[in-house]
Amino acid sequence: MRRSTGLFTNIMLKAFFLIIFLTALIGQPLTGLAEADANKAVVVARYEGAVVPITAKYIERVILHAEDIGAQACVIQLSTPGGLYTATQELVSYIVNAEVPVIVYVSPSGGWAGSAGTFITVSAHISAMAPGSRIGAAHPVSIGQSGEAQDVPSEKITEDAAAWARSLAQMRGKNADAVEQAVLESKSYSDSEALKLKIIDLRAENLNDLLEKVHGRTVTLAAGTSVKLETKDAPLVEVPMNFIEDTLLTLSNPDLAYILMTIGMAGLMVEIYNPGLIFPGVVGAISLLLGLYSLGTLDAYWGGVLLIILAFGLFIAEVFVASHGLLGAGGVISFLAGSLLLFSGGPPGIGINISLIVTTTITFAALMALLITAIVKGQKRKVATGSEALIGREAEARTDLTPAGFVFAEGELWNAVSTDGDIKKGEKVVITGIEGLRLKVQRYK
């Protein structure tokens, strides 16, 4: 049985990695364009959501693909509320050093290039916005991995971000003052205002309109070479996220990371309560590791993580220590505090839904209340097995108890002694105690 189980596991693992490999290949863009067409093609990537590490890796892959097929330009259709400063720096570096012209198009209508999106849009060789979109509010909130900026004064962080924004704007010939104000004063601009203030190069109704308007423009790449765009009626090469990128992006969702960590801790807690169940422990361990990975990529505050871990430690201790609910109450408070601290003061677009925190905390509080109630009832319940279970039960004297004799209890004849004077044969008695194999009884009243 053990050998067959091992063989089955081996086959499943091989199949799993094969599926990932094939899916990754399928997720790669098809390059079936003729060479002549590829040189005129425009590579298009669409991204909506917070800027996280996988975002930068995805954009890097898109730009590299555009370079590999000799595309004349790469269009990034972007809508983001913001994101991590480190991921933004990485992404902007790919754009600035690209060997093909990169066009950042804030779309669709109603889209947003907030916070991190401002830096990304300004860094592009050509920047455009759709009607009804907006840009700005780029004041930095936190930078660095795992709270590195905790020891850096906020003024220095802000000044550094403002200098970076000004540098990018000057490099692209944009209005450096207006861009700097988006950082220093969290100013936001509509698409019309951004065009008027020369924060962007143009407005476009849709992708086709964009390609028509940039047709004939000349851009200068990092290497100093100039490229004239001929994008009107150019063939498009869509480059979506592949399976692995989609999976990692999904795991980078703060709500999902929080749920995974919670499920992981709960699963391990159930396994500790009931050793040998295995399934809760396995699911809990996997969920916990995935949750910790997600929180790590999102720069979660580790003080919050430790408080949540402490909460589950207190929940477990409640079962083994008679604290009358104090440990459980402390666990609920620790869990709530840790949940609120996880992304406190974090960048825009990254945070846990407060309703999810409240719901989860109330659920755990209710479960702990039920657990404590069950423990208290169990402690008060009379012993149901063994000789101790006889205490409080009725019996019948089978001989005179003067004071010793015999009584019939629970289908058996017992040696007994009366603690209530002499008792006649046939009288009802109540068992009050046990000494070795002798029962202590008194008259039934």
How far, in Å, CA of 432 to CA of 401, rounded? 15
Tens of pLDDT, residue by residue over 19-71, are 444 444 444 444 444 443 555 899 999 999 999 999 999 999 999 999 999 99
Sorted by where each begins, the domain ranges of the chain are 31-244, 253-379, 388-443
CA distances from 364 to 105, 287, 307, 376 (A): 45, 18, 15, 18
Q: Give pLDDT tens digits for 88-100.
A: 999 999 999 999 9
Sequence length of the chain is 445
pLDDT score for 346: 67
Which residues are bridge partners to 394 per DSSP? 430
Dist CA 304 CA 149 (whole Å): 16
Hey, which residues are catalytic here? 115, 156
Cβ atoms of 336 and 356 closer than 8 Å: no
pLDDT for 171:
94
One fold for 31-244 and 388-443: no
pLDDT above 60 (res 322) = yes
CATH superfamily name and code, 31-244: 2-enoyl-CoA Hydratase; Chain A, domain 1 (3.90.226.10)
Which position has the token pair 């000789």? 387
**What confidence tens digit (pLDDT) does each residue in 286-310 have?**
999 998 888 888 888 888 889 999 9
Q: Quick one: 388-443 is in which CATH superfamily?
A: Nucleic acid-binding proteins (2.40.50.140)
**Among residues 213, 63, 58, 71, which one has the least CA distance to residue 129?**
213
